[in-house]
C-alpha cells in the first residue's frame, strides 16, 4: 500500500526526520489559509500516487498566498498525467508546505533487496527529478549499502556511503542521524520502500526531506490499523479501494471476464484457463476460505462495479468453504443486482450437490471442470 506524500511525511515526523511544515487542502480557501499561516512563501503539491508530479505540473512554488490558492483551486479536480502514469490521476488534495530554498538535491532510499535478502540504503548526490535517468546512464552515482540485520546500521557505514556518493560534506553531520531515523521509520512501519527525492540541502545549511514516498507491506497492514483505514485513499483504482474496505483480495486486470474463486492458486489456474481461450480476465478475486453467503454476495457486487465485465466465471472448490453457502450468495447477488450478463459456475467438493440444486434455480450455466467453465464463459461472452 502506498502512502500519499503528506501521510508519508507525517510518518517521518514521528521519527524526528526533518520535514518542511505544511498541511493538506481540498480547496482553494483551505490552501490560502495554510499558505497565509506559513507566511505566503509556499510550495503547492498535488497529492496523487504517482511519480514525476513536478514535470507534470503538479508541483509549483509561490511567493504569496493568493497565487498559491489560485493554483491550488485550479489543480484540485484536474487530472494529472505524467510519463510514469499516462492514464493520469485526478487530484483531490494538495499539500501546501513551507517553501525551502534548495541548494542541492540528494537522493535517499531504503528498500528491501529481495535478491540480497537485505534492507538496502541507496544514496546519490544526483537527486531530483531525473534520478531514473541517472540510474540508467550512470548507475555508479547511486551508492548502495546493504544492512546486516545482525548488527543493524552503523554510523561509519553511513558516513562511508555518503563519502562514496560524493554528498556535500556540509550535509554529513545531519544525514547520519537522518538515515538512522529513516531506517527506524522504514522498519517500524513495515515498509518495503521509503524514498526521499529530493533530500534537500537548503541554502542555510539544513537537510530536509522535501518529498517522501512510502510503500507499506500489505501483509503487515494488520499491525497498522491506522494505515489500513486509509486504504481507500491510497488505492490507485477505485474498485481496488472498495475491495480493501471490504477486506476482499481483489486485483483489477484489463479483460472482460470477471472471476471469483476460492484460494489464490485456484483463482490463478482459472485465469490461465481463461487466457487459453484467447479471452482475458477482468480481475483476480479470492473469496478466501469458509466464505459465507453475504461475503460471496459482496464479491459479486464488487465484480460488477467494473463496467467492462461482460461475463462472470465462479470457480469454487469446497473444502472449508461450503458449496451451498457460495451458491446461496451467488443466486441472491445475481437477483438483487439484476445481472444480465452470462454467468458460469463450477462447484466441486463440500456440499457440491446442494450447491448445484440451488444454482439450478437461477439462470446460470453449470460446468464440471475449470477448462469447461473457461470455454463456456468465453463462448457466451463472444467476440
Ligand atoms: P515529484 O516530481 O513527484 O517527485 O515531486 P517532488 O516533491 O520531488 O517535487 C519536484 C521538484 O520540485 C523537486 O525536485 C524540487 O526541485 C522542487 N521543489 C519541491 N519542493 C520545493 C521547495 O520547497 N522549494 C523549491 N525551491 N523547490 C521545491
Ligand atoms: Mn520527488
Per-residue pLDDT tens digits for 2-55: 999 999 999 999 999 999 999 999 999 999 999 999 999 999 999 999 889 999
| Per-residue confidence (pLDDT) for residue 232, from 0 to 100 | 54
| Per-residue confidence (pLDDT) for residue 293, from 0 to 100 | 82
Inform me whether the pLDDT recorded for 361 exceeds 90: no
22 pocket-lining for ligand 1 (C-beta < 6 Å)? no
3-state secondary structure the chain: CEECHHHHHHHHHHCCCCCCCEEEECCHHHHHHHHHHCCCCEEEEECCCCCCCCCCCCEEEECCHHHHHHHHHHHCCCEECCCCCCCCEECCCEEEEECCCEEEEEEEEEEEECCCCEEEEEEECCCCCCHHHHHHHCHHHEEEEECECCCECCHHHHHHHHHHCCCCHHHHHHHHHHHHHHHHHHHHCCEEEEEEEEEEEECCCCEEECCCEEEECHHHHHHCHHHHCCHHHHCCCHHHHHHHHHCCEEEECCCCEEEEECCHHHHHHHHHHHHHCCCCECEEEECCCCCCHHHHHHHHHHHCCCCCCCEEEEEEEECCCCHHHHHHHHHHHHHHCCCCCCEEEEEEECCHHHHHHHHCCCCCEECCCHHHHHHHHHHHHCC
Residue 132 among the catalytic residues: no
Best residue among 56, 129, 196 to mutate for probing ligand 1, ranked by most atoms within 8 Å of CB? 129
User: What tens digit of pLDDT does each residue of 164-190 get?
Assistant: 999 999 999 999 999 999 999 999 999
Is pTM beyond 0.85 here?
A: no
213 pocket-lining for ligand 1 (C-beta < 6 Å)? no
For ligand 1, atom 10: residue with the closest CA:
54
Q: Which atom of ligand 1 is nearest to the CA of 98?
A: 23
Average of per-residue pLDDT across 199-223: 94
Query: Is the model more confident about 126 or about 321?
Result: 126
Q: What letters, b where the CB count within 10 A reaches 16 and e where it falls short, cover 321-348?
A: bbbbbbbbbbbbbbeeeebebbbbbbbe
Alpha carbons 23 and 229: distance in angstroms, whole number:
20
User: What tens digit of pLDDT does each residue of 372-382 get?
Assistant: 999 999 999 98
| Per-residue confidence (pLDDT) for residue 183, from 0 to 100 | 98
| Per-residue confidence (pLDDT) for residue 238, from 0 to 100 | 79
105 pocket-lining for ligand 1 (C-beta < 6 Å)? yes
Average pLDDT, the chain: 93
Residue 111 grid coordinates: 528498500
How far, in Å, is the centroid of ligand 2 from the Cα of 188?
23
Inform me whether the pLDDT recorded for 231 exceeds 70: no
Compute how many other C-beta atoms are within 10 angstroms of the C-beta atom of residue 60. 17
How far, in Å, is the centroid of ligand 2 from the Cα of 60?
13
| Per-residue confidence (pLDDT) for residue 234, from 0 to 100 | 59
53 pocket-lining for ligand 1 (C-beta < 6 Å)? yes
Alpha carbons 353 and 367: distance in angstroms, whole number:
13
Q: Which ligand is nearest to the CA of 54?
A: 1
Residue 235 confidence class, pLDDT cut points 50, 70, 90: low
Best residue among 50, 54, 130, 208 to mutate for probing ligand 1, ranked by most atoms within 8 Å of CB? 54
User: What tens digit of pLDDT does each residue of 114-161 get?
Assistant: 999 999 999 999 999 889 999 999 999 999 999 999 999 999 999 999
Inform me whether the pLDDT recorded for 236 exceeds 80: no
Query: Could you tell me if 42 and 96 are in contact, meaning their C-beta atoms sit under 8 angstroms apart?
Result: yes
Average of per-residue pLDDT across 281-294: 87
Alpha carbons 75 and 92: distance in angstroms, whole number:
9
Inform me whether the pLDDT recorded for 265 exceeds 90: yes
How far, in Å, is the centroid of ligand 1 from the Cα of 35?
17
Residue 186 among the catalytic residues: no
HSE at residue 87, side-chain half, CA atoms within 13 A, is 6
Query: Which residue is catalytic, options 195, 240, 273, 325?
Result: 195
How far, in Å, is the centroid of ligand 2 from the Cα of 212?
7
Inform me whether the pLDDT recorded for 359 exceeds 90: no
Q: Which atom of ligand 1 is nearest to the CA of 54?
A: 2
Q: In which residue are the cell numbers 473457461 written?
A: 374
Alpha carbons 108 and 126: distance in angstroms, whole number:
10
Q: Which atom of ligand 1 is nearest to the CA of 213?
A: 4
Amino acid at each position: 500500500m502506498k502512502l500519499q506524500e503528506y501521510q508519508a511525511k507525517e510518518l517521518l515526523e514521528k521519527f524526528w526526520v526533518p520535514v518542511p511544515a505544511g498541511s493538506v487542502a481540498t480547496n482553494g480557501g483551505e490552501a490560502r489559509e495554510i499558505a497565509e499561516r506559513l507566511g505566503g512563501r509556499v510550495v503547492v503539491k498535488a497529492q496523487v500516487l504517482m511519480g514525476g508530479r513536478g514535470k507534470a505540473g503538479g508541483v509549483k512554488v509561490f511567493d504569496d498566498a493568493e497565487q498559491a490558492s489560485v493554483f491550488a483551486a485550479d489543480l484540485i479536480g484536474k487530472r494529472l498525467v505524467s510519463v510514469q502514469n499516462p492514464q493520469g490521476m485526478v487530484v483531490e488534495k494538495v499539500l501546501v508546505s513551507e517553501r525551502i530554498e534548495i541548494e542541492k538535491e540528494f537522493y535517499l532510499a531504503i528498500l528491501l533487496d529481495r535478491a540480497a535478502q537485505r534492507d538496502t540504503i541507496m544514496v546519490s548526490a544526483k537527486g531530483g527529478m531525473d534520478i531514473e535517468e541517472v540510474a540508467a546512464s550512470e548507475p555508479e552515482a547511486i551508492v548502495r549499502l546493504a544492512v546486516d540485520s545482525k548488527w543493524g546500521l552503523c554510523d561509519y557505514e553511513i558516513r562511508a556511503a555518503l563519502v562514496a556518493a560524493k554528498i556535500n560534506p556540509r550535509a554529513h553531520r545531519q544525514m547520519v542521524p537522518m538515515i538512522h531515523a529513516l531506517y527506524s521509520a522504514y522498519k517500524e512501519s513495515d515498509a518495503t520502500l521509503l524514498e526521499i527525492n529530493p533530500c534537500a540541502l537548503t541554502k542555510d545549511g539544513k537537510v530536509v526531506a522535501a518529498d517522501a514516498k512510502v510503500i507499506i507491506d500489505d501483509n503487515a497492514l494488520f499491525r497498522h490499523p491506522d494505515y489500513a483505514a486509509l486504504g481507500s485513499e491510497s488505492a490507485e483504482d477505485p474498485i481496488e479501494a472498495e475491495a480493501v474496505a471490504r477486506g476482499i483480495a481483489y486485483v483489477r486486470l484489463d479483460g472482460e471476464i470477471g472471476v471469483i474463486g476460492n484460494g489464490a492458486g485456484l483463482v490463478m489456474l482459472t485465469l490461465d484457463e481463461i487466457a487459453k481461450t484467447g479471452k482475458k480476465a477482468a480481475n483476480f478475486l479470492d473469496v478466501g476460505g469458509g466464505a459465507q453467503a453475504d461475503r460471496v454476495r459482496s464479491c459479486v457486487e464488487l465484480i460488477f462495479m467494473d463496467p467492462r465485465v461482460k461475463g462472470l466465471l465462479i470457480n469454487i472448490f469446497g473444502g472449508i468453504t461450503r458449496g451451498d453457502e457460495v451458491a446461496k450468495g451467488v443466486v441472491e447477488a445475481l437477483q438483487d443486482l439484476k445481472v444480465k450478463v452470462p454467468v458460469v459456475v463450477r462447484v466441486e467438493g463440500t456440499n457440491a450437490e446442494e450447491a448445484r440444486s440451488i444454482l439450478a434455480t437461477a439462470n446460470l450455466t453449470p460446468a464440471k471442470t475449470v477448462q469447461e467453465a473457461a470455454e463456456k464463459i468465453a463462448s457466451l461472452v463472444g467476440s
